[in-house]
Structure 1
């Protein structure tokens, strides 16, 4: 199963990628909505890590596309905003499985990916 990382910051995406690859998972990185949707369209994605605050495009549009075209794909959101700290993201995104702070340790995020990927 392949993970899709949707993150505008290439350095942060690379950090997450290295940690997830340690579990033996294949990773595709997209830095914007268009590339992320293209990766989902190509298929084979089992889980997505997406920063809520994308610079080019919308993380919610990526999640909506995944929900419609790939309903088994789960979205693990990462955010530096406190806006969704009340859990309301689960009311807006049907395939959301988690929403964690951007300050979360990369190895914790990788462990969460493995946990949710095992459920798909």
Structure 2
């Protein structure tokens, strides 16, 4: 299972990646649009964990690119905002499978990643 994390808070990305790696995943962390696009060009990801507030909307661009390159890739959006709490992301980004608060415990985020990786397989 390959996972891409787009999060500009390096400590939070590291926390999430450690929990996900314990489940046997290979994790790539990106801090902005350029590094996330470069990762997508070089690898195929089963699940993308994207902070919707990262780098001025880069998460939506990364989600669109991922959907184009691999329509089966699942996207879990995280945010500290309540802006998309109405479920709009599910209609904007067809590969969205979950929307979580960035304060969600890392273990629960890893559980979600593992679940949607299994669903894809």
Tell me, which stretches of 5 or more residues in structure 1 are unaligned? none
Q: Which residue number corresponds to residue 20 of structure 1?
A: 20
- Rounded Cα–Cα distance in structure 1 between residues aligned with 2:14 and 2:112: 17
> Going by fraction, where is helix more abundant, 1 or 2?
2
- Tell me, yes or no, if the aligned pair for 1:32 and 1:56 is still in contact at 8 Å: no
- Rounded Cα–Cα distance in structure 2 between residues aligned with 1:8 and 1:57: 12
Tell me, which stretches of 5 or more residues in structure 2 are unaligned? none
TM-score normalised to the size of structure 1?
Answer: 0.96
Q: Which residue number corresponds to residue 5 of structure 1?
A: 5
Q: 1:56: Cα distance to partner?
A: 5.7
- Rounded Cα–Cα distance in structure 2 between residues aligned with 1:35 and 1:3: 14
TM-score normalised to the size of structure 2?
Answer: 0.95
Give the SS at the match of 1:119. Answer: helix
CA deviations over 1:60-79 (Å, ceiling 9, x no partner): 00000011111111110001
- Tell me, yes or no, if the aligned pair for 1:5 and 1:28 is still in contact at 8 Å: yes
More divergent stretch after superposition (53-62 vs 64-73): 53-62
Aligned residues: 120
Give the SS at the match of 1:11. Answer: helix
Q: Which residue number corresponds to residue 71 of structure 2?
A: 71
